[in-house]
């Protein structure tokens, strides 16, 4: 019996737009579902804790989210405040993401950030007579190297001693916090106050983007009015450059391929001859370098341009980076979008608390729900359930068709086997004759 052949329209490949949409949904489906689920649950929390009728509570929830959005992205000034938070989140998110690529869980971004910021501060406080073109690159490079050393310690302990990176990164975080507090309260403490250092010299600071534009392109293009109100500094461009570097390392280098193999299948990587120990050390060193750069940019780009004791230990950037990396699925674009979301929640939460009278803790609830949704993988479970249900509803009943006591059977072609030792049919062999219809009675079948 001849099988039905697909028409030319059915065999036509999907359009590029449909293919792109499918790839986008496959890549961004889980993060989008996690964010939507967290927003819905956050709305339920607001409605449960608000007074009035159901309609009033629903309006309160909508107003809270509208003020949250406008407080983060509503105008240029608010956007600049958000980007101030986004810059370190991008760099620490990359730190966690590249470690995830190799199957390592880097919880030490906070400590690596502290070491990088402290190193940049020491260089800035020591060489105050250096010009800016020399001092700023020295501080940035020093912070990257310090963070790389701090992360490399974890890689060495993991690769050559088998110490779990979660334990070592947590312990090194507290060592970094206490060492930086000692240096801020001791050798580098300012004479004009306690628990803080002197401010960096002017040539060691990074300009704000708006002021930098007015002094360069603004000389022959329209200037930005009230440029001092836009606080985002040029460190944001360093973060964008780091995204490109991360993408190139992971997607366009042999090292990036090797760490992806290590993260997906360690046994296969060993069998392929990939240097496991060396790559573990290098990936943790690179992760530490990203976080160390974040510490330097925070110090050099934002007022008061000084280090304050206990500031590193209470800062949540290093731990928010875990959510940024998970939400971004360890991709460069995903990390950027995740940092924008977390930075927007952090900045917009303050405006929401002031204007909508909603506690700012709702932001942390939403962040926790996003992480919980990603970790629990609600979307894959939902997709499997829908697929299983739909396949059952579409499954046809297998009932043989009988006509006049005969049953139609379609046999696969059987080829003559001329090689009995190998048991394989020769190519091009003619199929043997088979009956397409077989009588249901035993005598008729035996006579054939």
Residue 382: per-residue pLDDT: 56
Residues 321 and 95: beta-carbon distance below 8 Å: yes
Average pLDDT over residues 246-267: 94
Between 434 and 269, residue with greater pLDDT: 269
CA nearest to 102, candidates 323, 282, 305? 282
Q: Among the listed ranges 59-63, 226-230, 279-283, 391-395, which one has the minimum average pLDDT value?
A: 391-395
Q: 100 has which bridge partners? A: none
In sequence order, what E strands does 353-409 have?
402-403, 406-408
Banded pLDDT at 146 (limits 50, 70, 90): very high
Across the chain, mean pLDDT equals 84
**Residue 66 in this model has a pLDDT that exceeds 80:** yes
Domain coordinates of the chain in residue numbers?
Answer: 33-73+325-388, 94-315, 402-439
Q: What is the pLDDT of residues 4-50, one digit of tens each?
A: 555 545 556 777 777 766 766 666 777 888 888 888 888 998 899 88
Banded pLDDT at 127 (limits 50, 70, 90): very high
Percent of the chain with pLDDT strictly greater than 90: 59
Between 19 and 312, residue with greater pLDDT: 312
Residue 435: per-residue pLDDT: 42
Mind giving me the DSSP string for 147-178?
Answer: HHHHHHHHHHHHHHH---HHHHHHHHHHHHHH
CA nearest to 78, candidates 211, 230, 228, 227? 230
Residues 212 and 234: beta-carbon distance below 8 Å: yes
Residue 363: per-residue pLDDT: 86
SS3 of residue 248 by DSSP: helix
Residue 381: per-residue pLDDT: 57
Between 402 and 361, residue with greater pLDDT: 361
What distance in Å separates the CA atoms of residue 338 and residue 86, rounded to the nearest whole number?
9
Sheet holding 437-439, edge to edge: 402-403, 406-408, 437-439
- CA of 390: how far to CAs of 26, 30, 33, 194, in Å? 20, 21, 21, 67
Residue 24: per-residue pLDDT: 66
**Residue 389 in this model has a pLDDT that exceeds 90:** no
Banded pLDDT at 430 (limits 50, 70, 90): very low
Q: Among the listed ranges 262-271, 300-309, 360-369, which one has the minimum average pLDDT value?
A: 360-369
Structure tokens at 29: 């489906």
Average pLDDT over residues 201-221: 93
Average pLDDT over residues 222-247: 94
**Residue 281 in this model has a pLDDT that exceeds 80:** yes
- CA of 227: how far to CAs of 203, 220, 325, 355, 384, in Å? 20, 16, 32, 25, 52
CA nearest to 229, candidates 211, 207, 247? 211
Average pLDDT over residues 294-321: 93
Banded pLDDT at 417 (limits 50, 70, 90): very low
Residue 425: per-residue pLDDT: 42
């Amino acid at each position: 019996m001849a099988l039905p052949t697909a028409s030319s329209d059915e065999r036509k490949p999907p359009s590029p737009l449909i293919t792109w949409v499918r790839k986008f949904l496959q890549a961004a489906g889980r993060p989008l579902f996690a964010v939507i689920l967290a927003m819905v649950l956050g709305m339920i929390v607001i409605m449960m804790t608000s007074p009035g009728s159901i309609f009033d509570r629903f309006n309160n929830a909508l107003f809270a989210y509208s003020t949250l959005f406008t407080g983060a992205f509503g105008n240029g000034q608010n956007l600049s405040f958000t980007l101030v938070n986004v810059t370190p989140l991008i760099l620490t998110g990359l730190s966690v993401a590249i470690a995830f690529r190799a199957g390592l869980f880097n919880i030490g971004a906070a400590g690596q950030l502290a070491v990088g910021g402290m190193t940049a501060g020491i260089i800035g406080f020591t060489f105050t007579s250096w010009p800016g073109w020399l001092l700023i690159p020295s501080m940035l490079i020093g912070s990257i190297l310090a963070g790389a050393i701090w992360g490399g310690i974890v890689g060495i302990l993991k690769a050559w001693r088998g110490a779990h990176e979660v334990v070592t990164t947590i312990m090194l975080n507290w060592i970094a916090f206490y060492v930086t507090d000692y240096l801020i309260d001791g050798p580098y403490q300012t004479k004009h106050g306690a628990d803080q250092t002197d401010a960096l010299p002017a040539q060691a600071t990074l300009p704000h983007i708006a002021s930098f534009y007015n002094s360069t392109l603004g000389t022959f293009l329209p200037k930005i009015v009230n440029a001092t109100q836009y606080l985002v500094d040029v460190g944001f461009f360093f973060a964008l450059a780091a995204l490109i570097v991360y993408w190139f390392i992971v997607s366009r280098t042999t090292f990036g391929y090797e760490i992806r193999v290590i993260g997906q299948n360690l046994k296969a990587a060993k069998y392929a001859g990939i240097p496991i120990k060396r790559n573990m050390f290098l990936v943790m060193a690179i992760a530490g370098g990203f976080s160390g750069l974040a510490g330097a940019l925070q110090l050099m780009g934002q007022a008061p341009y000084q280090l304050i004791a206990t500031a590193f230990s209470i800062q949540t950037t290093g731990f928010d980076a875990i959510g940024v990396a998970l939400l971004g699925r360890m991709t460069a674009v995903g990390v950027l979008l995740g940092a924008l979301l977390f930075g927007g929640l952090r900045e917009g939460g303050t405006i929401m608390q002031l204007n909508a009278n909603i506690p700012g803790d709702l932001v942390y609830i939403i962040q926790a729900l996003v992480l919980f949704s990603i970790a629990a993988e609600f979307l894959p479970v939902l997709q499997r359930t829908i697929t299983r249900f739909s396949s059952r509803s579409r499954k046809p009943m297998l009932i043989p068709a009988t006509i006049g006591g005969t049953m139609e059977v379609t046999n696969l072609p059987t080829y003559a086997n001329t090689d009995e030792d190998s048991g394989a049919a020769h190519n091009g062999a003619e199929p043997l004759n088979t009956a397409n219809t077989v009588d249901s009675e035993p005598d008729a079948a035996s006579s054939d």
